[in-house]
Copies of this chain bind each other. A is one copy, B any other.
Amino acid sequence: MPDTLNHPRALRKDALENREAILAAAALVFRRDPESSLDAVATEAGLSRRAIYGHFASRDELLAELLVRGGARISAALADVHDPDPRVHLALVGAAMWGEVQQVRVLAQLAVHGPLEKTIAEALVPVRSSVRQAVRGGVAGGWFRSDIAAESVARLVEDAAIAVLDEAVRADLTEAEARRLVMSVGLSVAGLSWQDAAHVVDGIESSTVTEGPHA
């Protein structure tokens, strides 16, 4: 079994590769069904179930690693999202999330079940706070809905974003379309009419003519 300890001859290259393969497979499989067996993961990774236990002590340890990575990527993607206009900010958060659909989906799927909830909530903190802040600003500016608590609006925006990500995949939308939609619907839930939302999105897209790496 691969060891993280110091050795006379140290780690082997393919061990690292296999570790990555396992994580990739887990992300893929758990996105479909968070309760899939390690056997399914192993098969997807092209390894034996036994081999997984060479890299991760337990199922939960594998899960934890996935969450940490996902959280990190999302944090990174959100790090350089700043805009004085809360509407633009919110839209940009949506766009950033679309860039990390896979990660987001894994987290969202896993969020439902099990005792990992704490870890997951933690991983999604950056998204939460970013959205919440934007909602507060948007309400203050008179654009967003003020008929319910900003907290609630933020959560609804998050849920809507997840739903859009699903729908984007299901309806097989273009990268561009999906980006637009995830931004637009977030703004809709926040309170804008769809035309106003589209206007904000247009503004963003024209200002960043060529840009954006996709996952």
Which residues of A come within 8 Å of B, CB atoms?
Answer: 33, 35, 113, 144-145, 147-149, 151-152, 155-156, 159-160, 163-164, 166-167, 170-171, 173, 177, 180-181, 184-185, 188-196, 198
Contact = CB atoms under 8 A, between A and B. Distances in A.
B160 A189 contact: yes
Contacts of A149: 171
Contacts of A189: 160, 185, 188-189
7 contacts: A144-B194, A145-B194, A152-B171, A159-B160, A159-B163, A163-B163, A191-B194
B33 A113 contact: yes
Contact of A184 (B147, B155, B184, B193): B147
Contacts of A156: 160, 163-164, 167, 185
Nearest to A189: B188
A37 to B, nearest CB: 14
Nearest to A184: B147
A156 B160 CA distance: 7
A164 B196 CA distance: 23
A138 B152 CA distance: 26
Contacts of A152: 167, 171
Contact of A177 (B33, B35, B148, B180): B148
B148 A181 contact: yes
Nearest to A181: B148
A18 B40 CA distance: 39
A190 B155 CA distance: 18
A91 to B, nearest CB: 14
Contacts of A113: 33
A164 B159 CA distance: 9
A17 to B, nearest CB: 32
A117 to B, nearest CB: 12
Most chain-B Cβ atoms within 10 A of its Cβ — which of A188, A189, A196? A188
A161 B95 CA distance: 23
A115 B67 CA distance: 28
Contacts of A166: 159
